[in-house]
Amino acid sequence: MLKIEIDGRQTEVPPGATVMDAATRVGVFIPYFCYHKKLSIAANCRMCLVQVEKAPKPLPACATPVTDGMKVWTQSELARQAQRGVMEFLLINHPLDCPICDQGGECRLQDLSVGYGGSASRYREPKRVVSEKEIGPLVSAQEMTRCIHCTRCIRFGQEIGGVMELGMIGRGEHAEIVAFVGRTVDSELSGNMIDICPVGALTSKPFRYTARTWELARRKSVSPHCGLGANLIVQAIHNRVMRVVPRENEALNECWLSDKDRFSYEGLNSEERVRRPMLKQGGEWREVDWQVALEHTAHALRETRAKHGAGAIGALGSPHATLEELHLLQKLARGLGSESVDFRLRRCDFSADGKRAGVPWLGMPVAEIGALDRVLVVGSFLRKDHALIAQRLRQAAKRGQQINLLHVAGDDPLVRLANRLTVAPSALPVALARIARAVIEAKGGALPPALAQLEAAPAVTETARAIAASLASGARVGIFLGNAAEQHPRAAELHAIAQELAGALDARFGFLGEAANSVGGYLAGCVPGPGGMNAGAMLADPRKAYVLLNVEPALDCHNAAQALAAMHAADMVIALSAFGGGALDYADVILPIGPFTETSGTFVNTEGRAQSFNGVVPPLGDARPAWKVLRVLGNMLGVEGFDFDTSEAVRDAACRASDVAGRLDNRVSGIALERRAPAPALERVAEVPIYSADPLVRRASSLQQTHDAAPPSAFMNAATIARLGLAAGAPVRVRQESGTAVLELARDDGLADGCVRIAAAHPATAALGAMFGEIRVEPA
Amino acid sequence: MTTAHPPLPADAYGPDALIMKGVDGLNWRLKDYEARGGYRALRKVIAEKMTPDALIAEVKKSALRGRGGAGFPTGLKWSFMPREFPGQKYIVCNSDEGEPGTFKDRDILRYNPHSVIEGMVLAGYATGTTVGYNYIHGEIWDVYQRFEEAIEEARAAGYLGSNILGSGVAFELHAHHGWGAYICGEETALLESLEGKKGLPRFKPPFPASYGLYGKPTTINNTETFAAVPWIVANGAERYLELGRPNNGGTKIFSVSGHVERPGNYEVRLGTPFAKLLAMAGGVRAGRTLKAVIPGGSSMPVLPGEAMMRTDMDYDSIAKAGSMLGSGAVIVMDDSTCMVKALERLSYFYFEESCGQCTPCREGTGWLYRMVHRIETGHGRPEDLDVLVNVADNILGRTICALGDAAALPVKSFIAHFREEFAYHIEHKRCLVSIPGGYATVPGVPLGEAA
C-alpha cells in the first residue's frame, strides 16, 4: 500500500491507484469532465488538475499514479488557478444559454461552472459553431456546439459498447464528434452515451424538450425486459412517464442500461393502450365498467367449466409479468380446477418438466461472471438478448477470460471469442455432446452411457476440441444456456448434456434467462400440474377458453401460427392486457391492466434476486394493476385464498425472498438423449429481435425506428442460396407447416448450411410455425 | 526516382561540421558514405564486440543531448529501455520536422541518410532492439523516397537485416511518412500515428521507454541525434565532448532563417557565440539592424537582438539568457519586423496545428490567435495585453503535451520584450515600425485597411 496525503487527509491506496482514486477514498471532491470510473483515462479535459508536492506543474488527478508519501493539494492557489483557467476555456466556446438547453439542470458543466467559473466572460471573440448531426432515432446530436470534446462517448463505444459508433474528426478547434458517414448510433447500448455526455451535446431524442429535469419525479423501478433485472429510475410528470435512466447497481446493470430498458417507456404511452374494460358482443367491441366486465368474465369461465370441464380452460401468462400476477393467475386456474397454466411461451420442449430438481436459473450471481476464466455460451444471440451480460463478458475477455460460443448463427457478439462453432439447430445437441465428449476424454473420465448413445460415433471436430481444451484449461468455468437453447426443440437434451459437461469441468452452469421473470414464473407456480397442459400442448390442442395475462400469442409464443389458430378456435378468450393489438381480433373480453410502471410487483431475475418495486404512476384511464384484477376475479369465482390486501401479501404467498435461494437448482435427471432422424433439407433459425420481445417494447416508437427493428428477411448463407438456385435481394415465399410468408432473401454467411434465418415475434412472420424446424423456400 | 538537387557549395555547413562534413549535395549514396568513413562505427562495435552497456556509457560520456528540442541526454534515455523485456522493443526516429524555422533533419536525410541508418542500428544494438521506424514528415516526399532507397542499399550491403555483417546482430528498419501534421512531431502523437491512429499525444507517464509503440518499450530520438552517434562511436566520446562544452557535447546544426544574407543550415560546435553563427549566415541583411531572434524554433521564447549578441549557442547558455536551444532553428528578425504581425503569424500556426485533444490548447490557441489578430488589424482593446498574458499562463503547463507551451511561450515573450509595440497598435491603430519593405503593415496606413 502507498501512503498519500490529500488536503491534509491521510490514506493508503494500492499500487496503481491514481490521485483521483485516493481522493474518492478520503472524500475529497476533485472536479472533472472526461474522467469516468468505467472508462479508460483520457486526461483531456484538464479539469482535475491538482498541485502535487515537488511537481513543477499542476497534474491531472485522474491520470497521476500515487507514489508513496505523495502530498496533494486540491484547493491550493496553484490548483484553483488551474481549475478556474480550464473552466474558462471550456466556457469560451460553449453557448451560455442554459435556460434553453435540454441538459440544463443536470449538466456537469453547468454545475461545476458555479464553483469554478467566472461570473462574466472575458472572451470577446466570435464563438465556435458546430453543425448538428443526424445520428438516428435514439440519440440527438442537434447541439454539437455544446460538445466539450471529453471523448467519453467515443471511449464508451470502443470499450463498453464494443463498437465505435462515434469518433472525432478534425483538429484543434475544428475537432468534432461524428458518426461514421451514413451510420446511425443505435447499438443496443448507445443510449448510455446520453448519460455520460457531461453537457447537452448528446441528449435523448425521445425525451428532448418534453420536460425539465427538476420537474420530474424520480421513482425506483426494475426493468421488465431481459433476465438481468436492470435497476431503473423512472421519471414522471403529471402521471406520465417521461424518461427512464439507470439506477446504479454494481451487481446487475452497473451504471448502464440497455437501450431496450431505457427507451421502452415510450410504449407506456402508446395509442394502443386500453383505457376501459371491453366486451365483444355480436362482433362489436363495447366499453363497459369493471363490474360488468368482471361479472361477464366470471360467468364465461364458470360456463366453460360447466360445459366442457375445467380442463378446457387454459391460462397463459407472460414471463414479463410480475411474480404476483403469475402467482394469482395460476391460483385462479387451479381454483377453477384447471392445471393447464404456463408462462414459458417460447419454449417447445417441455420434456424436462417433472425431472428438474428445482427452478432453473443462472447458477451463479451475475456479478461473478467477470471472475470466471473460461466460459461457454450455448445458443444465444448474446449481444441482443443479454446486452449487459454481453458487456460484462466483453470486459472479462479483455482481462483474459476465454469465451467460447456454440450457436446457430454467426452474429458478432462484439466480444473477443476464443472459439466459436456455428451449427444448424438440429446439430446443436450433437455439437454440444462432442464438446462434452472431448472434455471427458481429455480428463480421462468415462463417457456416460447417455452421451455415448446420442450418436454412434460422435467424432470430435477440431473446433469442438479447441473449445474443450479452452474449457478444460480453466480454473473457474461457466457454462450458460441462452434463449435459443431454451427455445430449441431439444432443449431438455441440451440441458442434460450441458449438465454432464459442467460436471466434468466442475463448472458453474445455468441459464441466461429469457425474460424479467423467467425464474419468478417457476417460483410463482405458474407451470402445469399433474394432468395439466403446458403452453405448447394448450396451443397445439386448442382449449375452449383462454385467460391471457399480458400475452400476444402470435408474437410471444413458440409457434405463432398455431397460437393464433388456437385463439381463433376458442369460444372465449379473456385478455388481461395493457394493449389492444391482436386481442381486438380474437379476444372476447379485454381487461385493461397497468404495465410495470402502474403496478407494484416483483421480478425475480436470472440470478434469483427478487426485486420488488412500486408503481410510479397511477394506471392509465380505468386500467388496474393485474394482481387486483385477478384478485377480484378470484373472489367473484369463489376461489379460496384470494383475500389479499396488498401485492406484498401476494408476493409472500408466492415465495418469500428468503426462500428463493433454496428453490434454485439447475439439476435435471432422467432425460433421454436420442439419435434422431437426419436433419431436414432446410431448417429455420429464429431469433427474437431485440425490440420485438415483449408487448411493451414492440410499441416503443423510437426503438422501432432502429436498425434492429428492421422488417425480417429470410437469411441463408451463399452456398445454400446457390444450392436452391435463388438470388439474394429477391422476394421468396417461405412455407412452414400450413403458413406462408413472402420475405426478401438476404445473405448471411454466418449461418450453417441448410439454415434459413427468419425472425420470430414479428407480424410479417406470424403466419409461420415453429421457431426451429423444417421450412421450405421457393421463389415468390 | 528521387528529386535531383543542385550541388552544395564546399563546406556549406561550416568548417566544424561532423555530421555534414564532406557532404556536397550529391554524395548521399552508400558508397559515398563509406568513403567518408561511414559504417566504421558499426564495424568497430561488431569487431570489438563492444557490449551494449559500454556503447550506452560511451554515448553518456559524450554528453550528446536530444537534438529534437527537449535536449534530454541521449545515453540516459537509452538506458531506460528495459533489458530483459520478453516482447518486441522499438527504436523510432522522429523525422517529423514541422516546426517553423526548422529544416535541418530534411538536409540530413536528403544528403546523408546513412548516418541516420547507422545511428539507429547502433541504438538498436545498445538497447537490445531489433526493429526501427523512421517517421518522416509528410511534406518532404522526396526525402522519404530517398530514405527508402538508402534503406535498400544498407539492407543489400548487410548493414540491416537479421544478421548484420554476419555478426548475428539483427536490426530491421522501416521508413514511414506522415501527412504533415505538426503534432505528429510530438513523440507520443508520432507513435499513435505510426500505429495508424489519429496523431493525438498520450499523457505521460507511462513514458515510451516502458509503454511506447504498440505498448512496447520504445526509444524515440531525433534524426540529428541518431546521425551524431556514428561519429561519437568511431572517434570516441571524449573528442565529441571536447568539441562542445561540458554537458553540451559536440556540434549542432542550426537552421538560420529570416533576415540574414545566407539563410541555411550551419553545423557548429555547441558554445559557439551567436555572433559567429550570424556571421556564417552572412549577417543581418544589408542596411538593417538586428531586432530579435527566436533561437530554438518558433515554440521558444523570443529574445531581443542585443541579448542574443551576448549569448553562446548551447543548451545552458541560451537557457540562461531566457529562452531555449530547442531544435536549433534560429529565426532572425531585423528592425523592419513588426512584432505584433510576427506573433500573429506564430499564433495562427499553433491555433491551426493544435490537435484539439485537451481543453487549454484547443480553446486557448484560438483565443490567443484571435486576440493578436485583432490587435494586428486595429481592433485591439486596452485590456487585451493583460488578458493575452493571462490566457497564455492558463495554457502553460496545463496541457497533455508541449504544444500548449509552444503556443503560450511566444505570446508571453513577445509581450514581455516588445510590449510597447503592442500597446502602440492598440492605442493608435497603427504600426510602430516605420521601415518599409519589411514584415510589417505599411507604415502610416491604418491597421486593417492595408491591402
pLDDT of residue B445: 63
**Is pLDDT at A459 greater than 80 in this prediction?**
no
Residue-wise pLDDT for B370-383, tens only, equals: 999 999 999 999 99
Q: How far apart are CA B91 and CA A661, in angstroms?
A: 58
Other C-beta atoms within 10 Å of A659: how many?
12
pLDDT of residue A455: 64
Q: In chain A, which residue's Cα lies nearest the Cα of B349?
A: A172
Residue-wise pLDDT for A415-431, tens only, equals: 999 999 999 999 999 99
Query: Hey, which residues 166-185 in chain A have their CB within 8 Å of chain B?
Result: 168, 170-175
Other C-beta atoms within 10 Å of B420: how many?
10
Q: How far apart are CA B426 and CA B383, in angstroms?
A: 10
Least confident of A349-353, A762-766, B3-7, B165-169: B3-7
Question: Does the beta carbon of A69 lie under 8 angstroms from any beta carbon of chain B?
Answer: no
**Is pLDDT at B366 greater than 60 in this prediction?**
yes
- Taking an 8 Å cut-off on Cβ atoms, the answer to whether B353 and A171 are in contact is yes
Burial B41-63 (b: 16+ CB within 10 A, else e): bbbebbeeebebeebbbbbbbbb
**Is pLDDT at A705 greater than 60 in this prediction?**
yes
**Is pLDDT at A151 greater than 50 in this prediction?**
yes
Question: Does the beta carbon of A255 lie under 8 angstroms from any beta carbon of chain B?
Answer: no
Phi, psi of B444 (to 5 degrees): 85, -15
Q: In chain A, which residue's Cα lies nearest the Cα of B393?
A: A85
- Taking an 8 Å cut-off on Cβ atoms, the answer to whether A43 and B203 are in contact is yes
**Is pLDDT at A453 greater than 80 in this prediction?**
no
**Closest-CA residue to A138 (of A701, A719, A690):** A701
Kindly report the length of chain B: 451
Task: Using the Cα atoms of residue A750, residue A754, residue A759 and residue A765 in order, give the sign of their dihedral.
Answer: positive
- pLDDT (mean) for B255-265: 96
Residue-wise pLDDT for B53-104, tens only, equals: 999 999 999 999 999 988 899 999 999 999 889 999 999 999 999 999 999 9
In chain B, residues with a C-beta closer than 8 Å to the C-beta of A125 are 366-367, 370-371, 374
Cis link prior to B205 (omega < 30° from 0)?
yes
Q: How far apart are CA A443 and CA A551, in angstroms?
A: 47
pLDDT of residue A675: 78
DSSP state of A427: G
pLDDT of residue B1: 46
Min Cα separation A67/chain B (Å): 12
The answer to whether the beta carbons of residues B417 and B342 sit under 8 Å apart is no
Min Cα separation B387/chain A (Å): 8
Q: In chain B, which residue's Cα lies nearest the Cα of A169?
A: B198
DSSP state of A200: S
Q: Which residues, 6+ apart, have CB-to-CB distance to B101 below 8 Å?
A: B255, B257, B258, B294, B297, B298, B329, B330, B331
In chain A, residues with a C-beta closer than 8 Å to the C-beta of B205 are 65
- pLDDT (mean) for A563-592: 97
User: What does B103-123 look like in DSSP terms, one character per residue?
Assistant: -HHHHHHHH-HHHHHHHHHHH
By CB atoms closer than 10 A (0-12, 13-18, 19+), residue A66 is buried
Prediction ipTM score: 0.94
Q: How far apart are CA A736 and CA A488, in angstroms?
A: 16
Residue of B192, B362, B379 to mutate, testing the A interface (most A Cβ within 10 Å of its Cβ): B362
Kindly report the length of chain A: 780
Query: Hey, which residues 384-423 in chain B have their CB within 8 Å of chain A?
Result: 387, 393-394, 397-400
Q: Can you give A702-758 as a three-state secondary structure string?
A: CHHHCHHHCCCCEEECHHHHHHCCCCCCCEEEEEECCEEEEEEEEECCCCCCCEEEC
Residue A590, SS3?
Answer: strand
pLDDT of residue A94: 97
- pLDDT (mean) for A151-173: 95
**Is pLDDT at A586 greater than 70 in this prediction?**
yes
Residue of B203, B377, B383, B393 to mutate, testing the A interface (most A Cβ within 10 Å of its Cβ): B203
In chain A, residues with a C-beta closer than 8 Å to the C-beta of B367 are 89, 92, 123, 125
Task: Using the Cα atoms of residue A111, residue A115, residue A120 and residue A125 in order, give the sign of their dihedral.
Answer: negative
Q: How far apart are CA A359 and CA A371, in angstroms?
A: 24
Average pLDDT, chain A: 96
The answer to whether the beta carbons of residues A50 and A19 sit under 8 Å apart is yes
Q: How far apart are CA B96 and CA B118, in angstroms?
A: 19
A492 or B436, greater pLDDT: A492
The answer to whether the beta carbons of residues A222 and A257 sit under 8 Å apart is no
By CB atoms closer than 10 A (0-12, 13-18, 19+), residue A176 is buried
Count contacts between A and B (CB, < 8 Å). 97
Nearest 5°: the CA angle B221, B226, B229 is 130
Residue position matching grid coordinates 566504421: B40
- Which set of grid coordinates corresponds to residue B13? 555547413
Burial A456-469 (b: 16+ CB within 10 A, else e): eebebeebbbbbbb
Residue-wise pLDDT for B180-191, tens only, equals: 999 999 999 999
- Taking an 8 Å cut-off on Cβ atoms, the answer to whether B398 and A172 are in contact is no
Residue-wise pLDDT for A71-84, tens only, equals: 999 999 999 999 99
**Closest-CA residue to A238 (of A725, A618, A706):** A618
In chain A, residues with a C-beta closer than 8 Å to the C-beta of B393 are 85
Q: How far apart are CA A420 and CA A404, in angstroms?
A: 6
Min Cα separation B402/chain A (Å): 12
The answer to whether the beta carbons of residues B186 and B96 sit under 8 Å apart is no
Distance of CA A511 to the CA centre of its chain: 14
- pLDDT (mean) for B225-237: 97
For B205, the enclosing helix (H) or strand (E) is none
Q: Which residues, 6+ apart, have CB-to-CB distance to A636 below 8 Å?
A: A294, A295, A298
pLDDT of residue A160: 97
Min Cα separation A82/chain B (Å): 7
Residue-wise pLDDT for A625-636, tens only, equals: 999 999 999 999
Residue-wise pLDDT for B289-322, tens only, equals: 999 999 998 989 999 999 999 999 999 999 999 9
- Taking an 8 Å cut-off on Cβ atoms, the answer to whether B355 and A171 are in contact is yes
Average pLDDT, chain B: 94
Which residues on neighbouring strands pair with residue A402, listed in sequence order? A374
The answer to whether the beta carbons of residues B127 and B91 sit under 8 Å apart is yes
Q: Which residues, 6+ apart, have CB-to-CB distance to A627 below 8 Å?
A: A322, A324, A325, A328, A599, A600, A601, A644, A647, A650
**Is pLDDT at A564 greater than 70 in this prediction?**
yes
Residue B430, SS3?
Answer: coil
In chain B, residues with a C-beta closer than 8 Å to the C-beta of A168 are 198, 356
In chain A, residues with a C-beta closer than 8 Å to the C-beta of B398 are 46, 49, 57-58, 82, 85-86
pLDDT of residue A678: 83
Which residues on neighbouring strands pair with residue A576, listed in sequence order? A549, A591
Q: How far apart are CA A557 and CA B370, in angstroms?
A: 66
In chain A, residues with a C-beta closer than 8 Å to the C-beta of B215 are none
Count of helix runs (H) and strand runs (E) in chain B: 17, 11
- Which set of grid coordinates corresponds to residue B194? 505510426
- Which set of grid coordinates corresponds to residue B280? 556564417
The answer to whether the beta carbons of residues A713 and A766 sit under 8 Å apart is no
The answer to whether the beta carbons of residues A406 and A379 sit under 8 Å apart is yes
**Is pLDDT at A677 greater than 90 in this prediction?**
no
Give the confidence band of B451 by pLDDT, cuts at 50, 70, 90: very low
CB-closest option in A63, A89, A170 to B363: A89
Question: Does the beta carbon of A209 lie under 8 angstroms from any beta carbon of chain B?
Answer: no
Q: How far apart are CA B199 and CA B177, in angstroms?
A: 13
- Taking an 8 Å cut-off on Cβ atoms, the answer to whether B359 and A93 are in contact is no
CB-closest option in A65, A86, A128 to B359: A86
- Taking an 8 Å cut-off on Cβ atoms, the answer to whether A90 and B358 are in contact is no
Give the confidence band of B447 by pLDDT, cuts at 50, 70, 90: low
Min Cα separation A95/chain B (Å): 14
**Is pLDDT at A400 greater than 70 in this prediction?**
yes
Q: How far apart are CA B395 and CA B385, in angstroms?
A: 15
- Taking an 8 Å cut-off on Cβ atoms, the answer to whether A170 and B365 are in contact is no
- pLDDT (mean) for B125-136: 97
CB-closest option in B354, B364, B371 to A171: B354
**Is pLDDT at A457 greater than 80 in this prediction?**
no
pLDDT of residue A231: 98
In chain B, residues with a C-beta closer than 8 Å to the C-beta of A56 are 397
Give the confidence band of B246 by pLDDT, cuts at 50, 70, 90: confident
**How far apart, in Å, are the Cα atoms of A222 and each of A239, A252, A501, A522, A617?**
18, 11, 34, 19, 14
Residue-wise pLDDT for A522-541, tens only, equals: 999 999 999 999 999 999 99
* Residue type for position A508: R
- Taking an 8 Å cut-off on Cβ atoms, the answer to whether A58 and B397 are in contact is yes
- pLDDT (mean) for B190-216: 95
The answer to whether the beta carbons of residues A703 and A266 sit under 8 Å apart is yes
Question: Does the beta carbon of B366 lie under 8 angstroms from any beta carbon of chain A?
Answer: yes
Q: Where are the beta strands (DSSP E) in A489-567?
A: 508-511, 545-549
Residue-wise pLDDT for A298-329, tens only, equals: 999 999 999 999 999 999 999 999 999 999 99
Q: In chain A, which residue's Cα lies nearest the Cα of B359?
A: A45
Distance of CA A390 to the CA centre of its chain: 10
CA atoms within 13 A on the CB side of A372: 31
First to last CA, chain A: 71
B52 or A678, greater pLDDT: B52
In chain A, residues with a C-beta closer than 8 Å to the C-beta of B400 are 43-44, 46
- Which set of grid coordinates corresponds to residue B15? 568548417
Residue-wise pLDDT for A728-777, tens only, equals: 999 999 999 889 999 999 999 999 999 999 999 999 999 999 999 999 99
Q: In chain A, which residue's Cα lies nearest the Cα of B181?
A: A171
**Closest-CA residue to A103 (of A243, A219, A200, A206):** A200
Tell how strand B329-334 and strand B251-258 pair up.
parallel
Question: Does the beta carbon of A89 lie under 8 angstroms from any beta carbon of chain B?
Answer: yes
- Taking an 8 Å cut-off on Cβ atoms, the answer to whether A89 and B394 are in contact is yes
> The pTM is what?
0.94
Question: Does the beta carbon of B359 lie under 8 angstroms from any beta carbon of chain A?
Answer: yes
Q: How far apart are CA A581 and CA A573, in angstroms?
A: 14
Residue A563, SS3?
Answer: helix
In chain B, residues with a C-beta closer than 8 Å to the C-beta of A170 are 356
